[in-house]
Chain A
Amino acid sequence: MKSVFTAMLSVLVAAPVFALDIGESMPKVRNSLTNIDGTKISLDEMKSDKGILVFFTCNHCPYSKAWEARYTKLGNEMMKKGVKVVAINSNDPTKQKEDDIGPMKDKAKRLGMKFPYTVDETSDFARSFGATRTPEFFFFNGEGKLAYKGAFDDNAENAKGVKANYLRDAMTATMNKKAVKVAETKSIGCGIKFRERRRTADIY
C-alpha cells in the first residue's frame, strides 16, 4: 500500500507544472492587480501595438535586487517607446514580510519606477503565467502573443559582466518585426511564495 502511495506521490512530483509557451496569448485571470497606489489594473484590458511586458518580482529576493536597477531602467525606457509595463509581486507577505505593500512602495520610489508595481492578491497571476521564481519576465508582442520568457540577462551578479541582454534584445527584435533569437531562458531565482488557494474554482 505504501509503495502505491509512493508511486502516486512521485507521479505528482514528476508531473510538469503549468507553463506558458512562446506564441500563446496572455492568460486570462479573473482577478485584477492592485497597484501600490491602490488603483486596480486589468491585464485583459491592456492593449499596445508595441507589446506588453509583464514581470514577476519582489522586494526580498537578492536576484530581484541584483536586477532591479536594470529592469527599472529598461521598463521606464520601453514605456516611452509605447510598451505597456507591469511589475507583479505574487509573494504572500505573511510568508515573506519584506514583500508587503509598504516595502513595495519604498522600492518603487527608491528605484524611480514609472510603471505600476502591483500586488497579485491571490498569487493567481503567477499560477496562470506559470511563473515560478523572481524575477521572471514575459514579453507579449503587439498581437498579444508571448514573444519572450525568462531571465533579464545572463549575469545577475555582475551587470558589467553581461554578455547577452536577453530581454532587451527580444523586445527590440519584436518591436522591429524581427525574429527573436533567444525566446526562452532560465535563471536562478527565489521560488514564488504562493498564497494558499482558498477555492479551487477561483483558479484558471
Chain B
Amino acid sequence: MNASKIFKIAIVLVAVFVLIFVLAQRLHQKSDLATNDPQGLLITPIKAEDILEIVRKKSGKVTVVNFWATFCGPCVEEFPHFIEARKEFQKEGMELVFVSLDFQSDIEEVRRFLAEQRVDFETFIKNQPDGDFIKAMHPEWSGAIPVTLVYNAKAELKYFIPKALTFEELKEKIMAVLKSNG
C-alpha cells in the first residue's frame, strides 16, 4: 500500500520534472528565435508610401532609412555602420529602417544576412514596381543602391545620400539632424 503510494508520487514528481524541463527548453529556444534564428526575423514586404508613413509615425528625433541588398557589395560593407550608429544613438531618439531591394524570391538570403548581422528588429523588403517605388522615395534617385535617406523629427528629409557611407559620415549626418532639431 505504502510502496505503491510512494511509487505513484515518484511518477508524478518525475512527470513534473520532465514538464518543467521541456518548458524550460521551449523558453530557451524562443529566446534564441528572437536573436539568432533567421526564421524568427520579421521581414515585411513594403511600398514606398508605407515607408514614408513609418517615418512620419516613428517618434524618432532622427530616422535613417537605408536601401540595401545582399548582392550589393558596398551596401553589405556599410551595413554594420548603421547597426553601430543605432546602438550609439538609439537613446537620443534615432530610428533605423532597413529596406532590402533583393528579389522577393531571395528572401532566405536576406534572412540569413540579417541574422548574421544580429539584426533583431523588424526590417522590410520592397514590394512594389521599381518605377513607382523610386519616384515616391526621391525624385533624384536613379534606382542605384546603396542609398540612404535621413529625416528629422518632423519627418522632413534632410539628407539624400546616393552612395555608401563610412561610419564617420553617417554619424556626422545623424548628429547634424539631432542638432538641427534643437
The answer to whether B144 and A132 touch across the interface, beta carbons within 8 angstroms, is yes
**Which residues of B sit under 8 angstroms from A188, Cβ to Cβ?**
101, 126, 130, 133-134, 143, 145
With an 8 A cutoff between CB atoms, is B161 at the interface? yes
Residues in B66-96 with C-beta less than 8 Å from chain A: 69, 71-74
**Secondary structure call for the A interface:** loop
Quick one: closest B residue to A190, CB to CB?
B72
The answer to whether B144 and A190 touch across the interface, beta carbons within 8 angstroms, is yes
With an 8 A cutoff between CB atoms, is B39 at the interface? no
The answer to whether B131 and A186 touch across the interface, beta carbons within 8 angstroms, is yes
Which residue of B69, B72, B129, B144 has the most chain A CB atoms within 10 A of its CB atom? B144
Q: Which stretch from A27-35, A149-157, A196-204 is at the chain B interface?
A: A149-157
The answer to whether B140 and A16 touch across the interface, beta carbons within 8 angstroms, is yes
Quick one: closest A residue to B164, CB to CB?
A191
Measured between C-beta atoms, what is the minimum distance from A2 to chain B in Å?
A: 9
Q: A14-B160, A185-B131, A187-B130 are in contact. Are A60 and B143 (CB under 8 A)?
A: no
Task: Kindly state the separation between the CA atoms of A151 and B143 in the bound complex, as whole angstroms.
Answer: 10
Measured between C-beta atoms, what is the minimum distance from A155 to chain B in Å?
A: 7
> Count of B residues near A, CB < 8 Å?
32
**Which residues of B sit under 8 angstroms from A43, Cβ to Cβ?**
none
With an 8 A cutoff between CB atoms, is B122 at the interface? no
The answer to whether A157 and B129 touch across the interface, beta carbons within 8 angstroms, is no
The answer to whether B106 and A62 touch across the interface, beta carbons within 8 angstroms, is yes
The answer to whether A157 and B143 touch across the interface, beta carbons within 8 angstroms, is no
Residues of chain A whose beta carbon lies under 8 Å from any beta carbon of chain B = 3, 6, 9-10, 13-14, 16-17, 60-62, 66, 95-96, 132-133, 151, 154-157, 185-193
Q: List 5 A-B contacts (CB under 8 A).
A: A186-B131, A188-B134, A191-B74, A191-B145, A191-B162
